[in-house]
Structure 1
Amino acid sequence: MRQSGTVSDTPEQENNATADPRAPRVSRAAGNVPGARGPVGPVHAATVRNLERSAGKLAAAAIARMDENLSWYRVMPPENRSWIGLVAQAGIAAFTEWFRHPGAPQAISTDVFGTAPRELTRAVTLRQTVEMVRTTIEVVETAVDEIAAPGGEDALRGALLVYAREIAFATAQVYAQAAEARGAWDARLESLVVNAVVSGEADEGDVSRAAALGWDSPERVTVVVGSAPDGDNELTVEAIRRAARYAKMQVLTGVLGKRLVVIVGGTDDPLRAAKSLIAPFAAGPVVAGPLVADLQAATRSAQAATAGLRACAAWPDAPRPVAADDLLPERAMAGDATARGLLVEEIYRPLERAGSALLETLSVYLEQANSLEGAARMLFVHPNTVRYRLRRVTDVTGWSPSDVRSAFTLRVALMLGRLSAGEARSSH
């Protein structure tokens, strides 16, 4: 007894339906609906044969319509146009095979996009691919009445609708996989460039790799270094990129061990750049290296910033972020030969060339008197003379003896300069 609300074909009903190809089919078992598990009928088989015979004609019509309606297709290089033509042909062939075996699972993305090289996902955007697929589907849809066997028009249209949905999912999957692969490759490439800069091995090859990542060789570059936060490094890197986009700066960034390193291009103020990017860094000091001319010279900025990060423990009250050059005395005490050289060459040597009076006055003021009047008494000069000479020290070095932090830097520079001078004398 038939239950209410169900449809059950008897063998007699199925035989009658098979005998008349034009008879409408209600049951999926009758076979004109793609996805059916039962046998297909002669109408379906005739439609499949018509599809096979029309495949080349349909592909040519699809290409012609793309050339007519899609401006981006007309200006593409011949090689890419050829690949798109192959994709269109593969799509129609895959639909035919899919329609031939409606119950069999099909790997549509492999059937359709397997003929195209991976590089095509770079040359053709997702939007353009969607337009290409839509155009091809429309061409097939307009030819349904000619292709379908009598009585099979609705089944073919229904199958085409389902296939269009499947090909849309397949298209999204192909581009998602390409984006993931490209993102993983770009991340590895970026990490190689950052590591080369930090280790002092950056060369023309790294400049080319950076260019492939979108780095357009800005005139001024700085390197910012700090501690990397716990958690997913990819999220940290993406947060740096977002902050850089907001600040309109270029960055190359990576997590090297426990350090987060950011190469910044397009800024004339390292501290301002560091402040714009500081949020993703973990708690603790963040050091900005000096400005340099280009990516290859960024090694000097990276080494200064890294040395500054190591030396920050000696200056607990250092601002965050801090410039690497503001940490010269701490870096020198930590054994940084570059910092020692800078203190001697940028502070001691200029004072030495400016005359012995400046060195003598600065030495007495910092190391013995600690006041204008006291220094004046020890030097047997007027306090205004001491005041004038200290202003000259500021003009020559850029560091003010009256500022506590600057005075510390100047004093370390004096000690290192004397040591250097003693070493030079002993070597002769």
Structure 2
Amino acid sequence: MPDSTDPPKPTRGEHPHSATLRRLEKSSGRLSAAAIARMDEQLPWYRAMPPEHRSWIGLVAQAGIAAFTEWFRRPETPQAISTDVFGTAPRELTRAISLRQTVEMVRTTIEVVEAAIDEVAAPGDEAVLREALLVYAREIAFATAQVYAQAAEARGAWDARLESLVVNAVLSGEADEGVLSRAAALGWNSPEHVVVVLGTAPDADNELTVEAIRRASRHAKLQVLTGVFGDRLVVVAGGSADPIRVAKDLIGPFAAGPVVAGPVVGGLLAATRSAQAATAGLKACAAWPDAPRPVLADDLLPERAMAGDPVARQQLVEEIYRPLAEAGSALLETLSVYLEQASSLEGAARMLFVHPNTVRYRLRRVTDVTGWSPSDVRSAFTLRIALILGRLSETEQPR
């Protein structure tokens, strides 16, 4: 004769632990309330949240206990726990609370159910329910990780598209206040100094190239917005007033070939000017095979001007020819004769009927006024092009 304390044997088709299942179903609401109350008591971040977010978390806790009840009913049937539990809250939940906070929430809910096992389980089913909860806790942990991994992948894909739009707006000259807000969403905090660096993209996965730029920027303590556009790798970097230093810090992921750094500008909205200079410099680099790598776009002014870049032409006139003209005709004349005499002090002095020291003094004044030294071969080439363009600009002025 069976002992009167033994649980009744289930009939065919009935759940083997039907009494525990019924008690678990009846207790789900109370357990959910207890879990929320414990979170409010033990988790400061939960108390600090706005009511809407606490409501989402309450829905997740309630769905988690309901999903455990359903899982206990049919443990042999594979179930999408992540959908059952996290599908009750909007996708924004993964942005509202961190993975660590979600783990704390799940742990608290599991602890509440575990503490109530002796009360919820039918006599003799305590061990069965505790073991089921242990397995379910493992499954919900995996489901939590999957939800956040999927959210991270989706967010990464969205951020990549958003970043590409921002960089493209800078390249095309369409940067506006909307671009600033998009950049801010990507973590760009409007650094004071911004420079655009351009070069050839490597024959590798674009995501790997972008990630390599990010690693280099973190090491150099720079902010970057970057992307691969066709065969070109573009980096908008902020945080340094030295464009060559920026380019050298980020040059590793670029493919072989020229890498050009535009001038430093005062913010993202002005970065188009840096991008256009770097683009023109990259195009003109073929005319200077021995250019350093990386090279400043401003060091390519003569090649850019000869390639038809109007900005470079104007810059040479405004920054070299006009200051020399305003400093007095003697400087322009001395520089012109010196360059025509193959950079010979004595030859220039004879042509000007002055002492060589006078020529030497005037050339030093040229360097002071323009920043380019006539005695340097490269600078002399730049000065010569500036003189040509300046004279042409004067003939084009209306009389």
Q: Which amino acid in structure 2 is aligned with residue 47 of structure 1?
A: T
Q: Which residue of 2 aligns with 1:293?
A: 266
Q: Deviation at 1:101? A: 1.6
Q: Deviation at 1:141? A: 0.5
Corresponding residue to 1:92 among 65, 72, 79: 65
Q: Deviation at 1:103? A: 1.9
Q: Which residue of 2 aligns with 1:34?
A: none
Q: Which residue of 2 aligns with 1:188?
A: 161
Q: Which residue of 2 aligns with 1:210?
A: 183
Q: How many angstroms apart in 1 are the aligned matches of 2:8 and 2:41?
A: 37
Residue aligned with 1:175, SS: helix
Contact in 1 for aligned 2:15/2:73 (Cα 8 Å): no
Q: What are the Cα deviations for residues 288-340 of structure 1, in whole angstroms up to 9, with x where unaligned? A: 00011110100000000010001001111111100000000000011101000
1:281 and 2:269 aligned: no
Contact in 2 for aligned 1:80/1:120 (Cα 8 Å): yes
Q: How many angstroms apart in 1 are the aligned matches of 2:241 and 2:26?
A: 67
Q: Which residue of 2 aligns with 1:339?
A: 312
Residue aligned with 2:269, SS: coil
Q: Which residue of 2 aligns with 1:318?
A: 291
Evaluate the alpha carbon distance shift between residue 93 and residue 384 of structure 1 in structure 2; reply closer, same or farther with a 3 A threshold.
Answer: same
1:308 and 2:281 aligned: yes
Q: Comparing 279-288 with 149-158, which one deviates more in the overlay? A: 149-158
Corresponding residue to 2:238 among 245, 250, 265: 265
Q: Deviation at 1:186? A: 0.3
Corresponding residue to 1:232 among 196, 202, 205: 205
Q: How many angstroms apart in 2 are the aligned matches of 1:77 and 1:300?
A: 43
Contact in 2 for aligned 1:312/1:330 (Cα 8 Å): yes
Q: TM-score, normalised by structure 2?
A: 0.97
Q: How many angstroms apart in 1 are the aligned matches of 2:343 and 2:337?
A: 8
Q: Which residue of 2 aligns with 1:102?
A: 75
Contact in 2 for aligned 1:219/1:294 (Cα 8 Å): yes
Q: Which amino acid in structure 1 is aligned with residue 360 of structure 2?
A: R
Q: How many angstroms apart in 2 are the aligned matches of 1:385 and 1:242?
A: 54
Q: Deviation at 1:370? A: 2.2
Q: How does 1:117-156 map to 2 (within 5 A)?
A: 117-156=90-129
Residue aligned with 1:255, SS: strand
Q: Deviation at 1:98? A: 1.0
Q: Which residue of 2 aligns with 1:256?
A: 229
Q: Which residue of 1 aligns with 2:334?
A: 361
Q: Deviation at 1:41? A: 4.4
The structure whose Rg is larger is 1
Q: Which residue of 1 aligns with 2:193?
A: 220
Q: How does 1:11-50 map to 2 (within 5 A)?
A: 20-21=6-7, 41=15, 44-50=17-23
Residue aligned with 1:297, SS: helix
Q: Which runs of 4+ in 1 moved over 3 A?
A: 38-42
Q: Which amino acid in structure 2 is aligned with residue 21 of structure 1?
A: P
Q: Which residue of 2 aligns with 1:3?
A: none
Residue aligned with 1:296, SS: helix
1:169 and 2:155 aligned: no
Q: Deviation at 1:369? A: 4.6
Evaluate the alpha carbon distance shift between residue 221 and residue 374 of structure 1 in structure 2; reply closer, same or farther with a 3 A threshold.
Answer: same
Q: Which runs of 5+ in 1 are unaligned?
A: 1-15, 24-29, 32-37
Q: How many angstroms apart in 2 are the aligned matches of 1:104 and 1:41?
A: 14
Q: Which residue of 2 aligns with 1:11?
A: none
Q: What are the Cα deviations for residues 4-27 of structure 1, in whole angstroms up to 9, with x where unaligned? A: xxxxxxxxxxxx99x95278xxxx
Q: Which amino acid in structure 2 is aligned with residue 324 of structure 1?
A: A
Q: Which residue of 1 aligns with 2:54?
A: 81
Contact in 1 for aligned 2:324/2:331 (Cα 8 Å): yes
Q: What are the Cα deviations for residues 229-253 of structure 1, in whole angstroms up to 9, with x where unaligned? A: 0111001101111111111111000
Q: Deviation at 1:368? A: 2.7
Matched length = 397
Q: How many angstroms apart in 1 are the aligned matches of 2:14 and 2:44?
A: 42
Q: How many angstroms apart in 2 are the aligned matches of 1:41 and 1:164?
A: 22
Q: How many angstroms apart in 1 are the aligned matches of 2:203 and 2:343?
A: 47
Q: Which runs of 5+ in 2 are unaligned?
A: none
Q: Deviation at 1:78? A: 1.2
Q: How many angstroms apart in 1 are the aligned matches of 2:148 and 2:201?
A: 31
Residue aligned with 2:265, SS: coil
Q: Which residue of 2 aligns with 1:348?
A: 321
Q: How many angstroms apart in 2 are the aligned matches of 1:352 and 1:41?
A: 99
Q: How many angstroms apart in 1 are the aligned matches of 2:15 and 2:323?
A: 98
Q: How many angstroms apart in 2 are the aligned matches of 1:236 and 1:122?
A: 27
Q: How many angstroms apart in 1 are the aligned matches of 2:341 and 2:204?
A: 52
Residue aligned with 1:261, SS: strand
Q: Which residue of 2 aligns with 1:116?
A: 89
Q: Which amino acid in structure 1 is aligned with residue 78 of structure 2?
A: P
Q: Deviation at 1:267? A: 0.6
Q: How many angstroms apart in 1 are the aligned matches of 2:352 and 2:238?
A: 49
Contact in 1 for aligned 2:244/2:296 (Cα 8 Å): yes
Q: Which residue of 2 aligns with 1:372?
A: 345
Contact in 2 for aligned 1:22/1:151 (Cα 8 Å): no
Q: Deviation at 1:367? A: 1.6
Q: How many angstroms apart in 2 are the aligned matches of 1:357 and 1:162?
A: 91
Q: Deviation at 1:150? A: 1.2
Q: How many angstroms apart in 2 are the aligned matches of 1:381 and 1:364?
A: 12
Contact in 1 for aligned 2:343/2:375 (Cα 8 Å): no
Q: Which residue of 2 aligns with 1:4?
A: none
Residue aligned with 1:359, SS: helix
Q: How many angstroms apart in 2 are the aligned matches of 1:379 and 1:41?
A: 112
Q: TM-score, normalised by structure 1?
A: 0.90
Residue aligned with 2:236, SS: strand
